[in-house]
Amino acid sequence: MDADSLKSKLALIDGRGYKAYRELKGRFEFPRFTLFIDRVQSDPFAAPSRMRVRVAQASARFAPLLFETKVRQVALQDWLARTFAISIARIVKGHRGTGKSGYIGVDRGGQEIIERTAAVVNEQFAEVRLAAGFPAAGRRCLGREAAAMLLEEVPRLVDATLFYGALDQLAVAAHIEAAEDQDWLRRRLPDMGLVAFVADGSILPRESGVSDKPLRRGPVIEFQSPAGLRTSIELPNRGRLAGMGVPEGVTLIVGGGYHGKSTLLRALERCVYSHVPGDGRELAATRSDAVKIRAEDGRRIEKDDISAFISNLPFGVNTSSFSTENASGSTSQAANIVEALEAGSALLLMDEDTSATNFMIRDSLMQQLVVKRKEPITPFIDQVRNLKSEHRVSTVLVMGGSGDYFDVADTVIAMENYQPRVVTGRARQIIAARQDVRNAEAPAGFGAIGRRTPLARGIDPHRAGKLKIGAKGLKNAVFGKEIIEMAALEQLVDVSQTRAIVHMIWHGLRQGYFDGQSSLAEIIDRILADVERSGLGVVSTVFSRQPASGPDGADAGGRKAASAQAVPLLPAAGEEHPGDFALPRRFEIAAALNRIRTLQVE
DSSP state string for 428-452: HHHHHH-SS-PPP---S---PPP--
Do 330 and 446 reside in the same domain of the chain? yes
Do 434 and 462 reside in the same domain of the chain? no
Last residue of a domain, one of 105, 137, 167: 167
Give the domain CATH number at 255: 3.40.50
Specify if 177 maps to a domain.
no
Do 215 and 338 reside in the same domain of the chain? yes
Domain that holds residue 517: 456-594
pLDDT of residue 374: 85
Do 154 and 220 reside in the same domain of the chain? no
pLDDT of residue 564: 29
Q: How many CA atoms lie within 13 A of 106 on its CB side?
A: 31
Specify if 172 maps to a domain.
no
Q: How many domains does the chain have?
A: 3
Q: What is the largest distance, in Å, between two alpha-carbon atoms of the chain?
A: 89
Do 158 and 220 reside in the same domain of the chain? no
Specify if 327 maps to a domain.
yes
Do 8 and 47 reside in the same domain of the chain? yes
- Residue by residue, what is the 3-state secondary structure of 305-365? CCCCCECCCHHHCCCCCEEECCCCHHHHHHHHHHHHHHCCCCEEEEEHHHCCHHHHCCCHH
Do 431 and 511 reside in the same domain of the chain? no
Chain centroid offset of residue 235 CA: 25
Q: Which residues contact 62 (CB under 8 A, 6 or more apart)?
A: 76, 121, 126, 164
Specify if 599 maps to a domain.
no
C-alpha closest to that of 294 among 378, 376, 380, 353: 353
Do 358 and 412 reside in the same domain of the chain? yes
Specify if 199 maps to a domain.
yes
Entry pTM: 0.92
Specify if 8 maps to a domain.
yes
Q: Which residues contact 576 (CB under 8 A, 6 or more apart)?
A: 537, 540, 542
Do 156 and 272 reside in the same domain of the chain? no
Work out the angle at residue 127's Cα, subtended by the Cα atoms of residues 121 and 128, and round it to the nearest 5 degrees: 120
Specify if 602 maps to a domain.
no
DSSP assigned state of 559: S
Do 437 and 474 reside in the same domain of the chain? no
pLDDT of residue 285: 98
pLDDT of residue 577: 67
pLDDT of residue 411: 98
Tens of pLDDT, residues 150-183: 999 999 999 999 999 999 999 999 999 999 999 9
Do 438 and 504 reside in the same domain of the chain? no
Q: Which residues contact 176 (CB under 8 A, 6 or more apart)?
A: 66, 72, 75, 76, 79
pLDDT of residue 566: 33
C-alpha closest to that of 110 among 263, 202, 212: 212
Q: How far apart are the first and last CA of the chain?
A: 55
Specify if 600 maps to a domain.
no
Strands 250-254 and 411-416: parallel
Q: What are phi and psi of 592, to 5 degrees?
A: -65, -45
Last residue of a domain, one of 450, 485, 511: 450
pLDDT of residue 550: 40
Do 380 and 403 reside in the same domain of the chain? yes
Alpha helices for 392-494 (secondary structure H): 424-433
Last residue of a domain, one of 102, 132, 167: 167
pLDDT less than 50: residues of the chain: 543-576
